[in-house]
Amino acid sequence: MKPSILLTIMMTVISGTMIVLTSSHWLMVWIGFEMNTLAIIPILMKKSNPRAIEASTKYFLTQATASMILMMGIAINLLYSGQWTLSKTLHPAASTMM
């Protein structure tokens, strides 16, 4: 992998993590998680062999399922609280999903 590509991927991982840590909005948390997911997959597939492809596919499917469940919890929290902020008290069903 070229150094410029690796640098871009690492900067995406760092910026996605910083977005998650500093956000006060559920949508920004989700965007940060998705940035990390899309940056980790090329790292997993750095060596092109069947095991790497299988690992990255499993990681993607697991992350897509977790992302869907997180968004469902966020939607339930929005339904009951009316706000996207992290500081609002969570509904028990939303809290369990998240």
Q: What is the 3-state secondary structure (H, E, C) of 29-82?
A: HHHHHHHHHHHHHHHHCCCCCHHHHHHHHHHHHHHHHHHHHHHHHHHHHHHHHC
CB 94 within 8 A of CB 74: yes
Which pLDDT value is given to residue 29?
92
Average pLDDT over residues 30-34: 93
Q: Where are the domains of the chain?
A: 3-97
Higher pLDDT, 12 or 2: 12
pLDDT greater than 90 at residue 36 = yes
Which pLDDT value is given to residue 89?
67
pLDDT digits (tens, 9 = 90+) for 37-90: 999 988 888 888 889 889 899 999 999 999 999 999 888 888 888 888 887 767
Q: Which of 46, 38, 57, 54 is nearest to 6 (CA)?
A: 46
Which pLDDT value is given to residue 10?
93
